[in-house]
Amino acid sequence: MRGHADQLASDLPAPLSAVPRAGTTRLRVRYCECDPMNVAHHAAYIPWLEIGRTELLRAGGVAYAQLERAGVFLVIAKLEAAYRRPALYDDVVEVRTRVVSASKVKIVHAYEVVVVERASQTTEIVAAAAGSTLACVDRDGRVRVLPAWLAGSD
């Protein structure tokens, strides 16, 4: 009979290719993300960062939902953001995400949110710089080891 740890390891999804250490995701600032002055609200940036992280996983062939089904949860342990310039309604922004470091139980990301199109004109305005630390936990919230391929030790 297999042990619980063996069963968890066999249920873990495996990437189809190497999970990139950096990536870029484009999105358009939606009206519902803005204040009455058409400026993206500071709270809108946090989901954009999440999109950047999850798209890195997806680029390797693994959806975050697959990790959760296998009992692997990546929770925010630390999040910092510095807002530099406003992103406006209908701007196109790039969320530039990179893995700064990874250990057996955590992943550190750095981000830039850059306005790359405003009023149909190409531009390059750094709207925000951010960083996050994700901790790996199980279904009960106990710290657990990251899959080796995610920790970068595969």
Number of Cβ within a 10 Å radius of residue 144: 19
Query: pLDDT tens, position by position, for the chain (154 residues)?
Result: 334 443 445 578 888 888 899 999 999 999 999 999 999 999 999 999 999 999 999 998 999 999 999 999 999 999 999 999 999 999 999 999 999 999 999 999 999 999 999 999 999 999 999 999 999 999 999 999 999 888 875 4
Domain count for the chain, please give it. Answer: 1
What's the full length of the chain, in residues? 154
Using DSSP's 3-state secondary structure scheme, residue 61 falls into coil
Mention every residue, 6+ apart, whose C-beta is less than 8 A from residue 136.
72, 73, 74, 105, 106, 107, 143, 144, 145, 146
**Under a CB-based contact definition with an 8 Å cutoff, are residues 57 and 97 in contact?**
no
CATH number at residue 29: 3.10.129.10
Dist. CA 77–CA 152, nearest whole Å: 19
Decide: pTM greater than 0.85.
yes
Q: Which domain holds residue 40?
A: 4-14+23-151
